[in-house]
Amino acid sequence: MRKISIMAAALVVLLTFFSCGSKFTPGTYKGGAPGIHGEDVVLEVTVDKKKITKITVLENHETPGVSDAAFDRIPKKIMETQSLDVDTVSGATYSSKAILGAVTKALEAAGADIKALSAGKKKAEADAVTAATQVLNADVVIIGAGGAGLAAAVSANQNGASVIVLEKMPQVGGNTIISGSAFNAADPSRQIPQGIEDSTEKHFEQTLKGGDNLGNPVLVRTLVENAYPTLQWLESLGMEFQDHVFTVLGGLWPRAHKPVKPLGTGYIETYMNYINAHDGITVITDTKVTDIYLEEGRASVVKGQGQNGTIVAQGHKAVIVATGGFGANVDLREKYNKFWPSLVNIGTTNHPGATGDGLGLAEKVGADLVGLEYIQLLPMGDPVTGSLSGNIEQAVENRIFINKSGNRFVDEGQRRDVMTRALFEQEDSFMWIVLDSHNYPTMDTKNNFNETIQELVDQNRAVMADTLDELAVKMNVDADNLKAAVADFNRAVETGGPDGFGRTLFQYKMDTPPYFAGGRKPTVHHTMGGIRINEKAQVLDQDGNIIPGLYAAGETTGGIHGSNRLGGNALADINVFGKIAGANAAAEN
């Protein structure tokens, strides 16, 4: 195997500590500040007369995985620098600000001079750092440590390859860790006991038709036929799924599997547990890849910028691109958008790192890009942040959408693009999700994002009432319209539909108080276009030829979902094609 010569080997980091000069009243003090969901992050800060000696987290309701790096780094940095002039952590800005705010409150109580503590007292890391180029070697180099990248890493390692994973964010997980986590697969073992008829053929037909027959049938076939075996593979690695199969928003059929762990934490924990328990996989965060290089026409070398200098990683067998989509990149959304109103002021469910980096990396080495104009929006965004958190729905069958006039306006079991277009036509592009206690039998019942309905009501992110009249008042909608909408829905439940909107997905009547409602707006969710691949996850050029040694998996790829992705197909996609990419990359000569 070829070796890369080391271009530089020395890294000089000068650490200089500054005294903040503040005087404290010795003791332990509490402070709190609101995090991303509105609930306070509460910290305890201990000081002596001259310095901060300890910071302890007492309460934390932030998103698991996403906020971990902030809680790990910021208190340490404050202690090291004895300063509040500390950078926030990329991808966890809200949590970072909450931590800094909570420490500030505690130090105010300790009598500190906050202005002095905030005035540029960061630990000095020498201005003239001699940046080294660190050279790394492995069989397979993977760009991106979200679900697809980690699936590829585990799969490649299981097939005998050594692996390096480079991730630009401070933590692993990507969009997967904050996802709704539904995994579509035809699964007789779970579906038959529920009386659900399904098959890979039905999954194939619905996926292809749901994307207006614009997806590559070979890729769609690969997806649906490998979905259940990949779910079993995840279970073999220790991941647990609930027995109940349900219909996820825009999924069109009850084949969605919900992990036992909240959000997408189960996927990432499963992969990281394997990685931590096995030799041969190195994961490096805080490293933004800038280039892929071909050696003799073969993808082989990856260059990136880490915290302490340049990293050059040689993939002696292959390079896998798993950098996710571009839902958080407003410029790219506007560049490629052809079908939606302007997306400049629309929120996103994506994490901040979903900026489409892999598209440019792959294109520079000849990759073809397909379907970039197909951008998926959901009608389920938080009205303030655009995130999926706070969504009170539990299953498609048991809720309705209500506009500001108190009326239904769409088949709530339709495709995601159909529902979102209908929402854009409503006043302020705003709707309420309305459901009853069939979905929340107790106030401790959680939504799909690990939030209890009591928490959402307490935070004014949802409203509840014992009657529809009272609920209408809290929603500020016409009560007669709301009651008529619920009555129409209940009649359709009795008959099995379809109702006046063509809806056919029903389960329970909405007749058991208390009733709940939560506000939602359109939000950017998924980008269906990306790097062109074949069924082996090999990257193709514009002529359909394989680029040797280059693979791609996950949302960075295009051609699978066509113009519209079915709900629940993303987690299947990233795990199926991540697993395939890893195995095939490991098998390269």
Are 113 and 159 members of one domain?
Answer: no
Widest distance between CA atoms in the chain: 76
Please give the Cα distance from 70 to 76 (Å, whole number): 10
Same domain flag for 178 and 322: yes
Residue 283 located in a structural domain: yes
CA quadruple 117, 122, 124, 127: dihedral sign: negative
CATH at 64: 3.90.1010.20
Residue 108 placed within a domain: yes
For residue 458, give the CATH number of its domain. 3.90.700.10
Number of structural domains found in the chain: 3
Q: Is residue 111 part of a domain?
A: yes
Select from 549, 121, 132, 500 the least CA-distant residue to 307: 132
Q: What is the pLDDT of residues 88-104, one digit of tens each?
A: 887 677 788 889 998 99
Question: Cα dihedral sign for 22, 23, 27, 33?
Answer: negative
Question: Any residues with CB less than 8 A from the CB of 249 and at least 6 apart, and which?
Answer: 378, 380, 393, 396, 416, 567
Identify the CATH number of the domain in which residue 352 sits. 3.50.50.60
Domain with 149 in it: 134-374+528-586
Which of 59-63, 169-173, 334-338 has the weakest average pLDDT? 59-63
The amino acid occupying position 25 is T
pLDDT in tens, 122-148: 444 433 334 568 999 999 999 999 999
The verdict on 349 and 474 lying in the same domain is no
Characterize the bridge pairing of strands 281-284 and 163-166: parallel
**Tell me: the pLDDT tens digits for 276-322?**
999 999 999 999 999 999 999 999 999 999 988 999 999 999 999 99
- The tokens for 476 are 């500020």
Judge if 228 and 256 occupy the same domain. Answer: yes
222 and 108, same structural domain?
no
Judge whether 237 lies within some domain: yes
Q: Supply the pTM of this predicted model.
A: 0.84
- E-assigned strand segments in 65-131: 124-125
124 in any annotated domain: no
Tell me whether residue 244 is in a domain.
Answer: yes
| 84 and 140 part of one domain | no
Domain end (from 523, 555, 570):
523
* Whether residue 166 is found in the same domain as residue 61: no
At 15-51, the pLDDT tens digits run: 333 334 458 999 999 999 888 766 789 999 999 988 9
Q: Return the active site residues.
A: 416
Indicate the residue among 496, 523, 550 that finishes a domain: 523
| 368 and 419 fall within a common domain | no
pLDDT of the residue at 135? 93
Q: Are residues 551 and 447 in the same domain?
A: no
CA distance 469 to 139: 65
Residues 508 and 561 in one domain: no
| Cis before 498? omega within 30 | yes
Tokens coding 27 = 């003791």
Mean pLDDT of the chain: 91
Residues 96 and 111 in one domain: yes
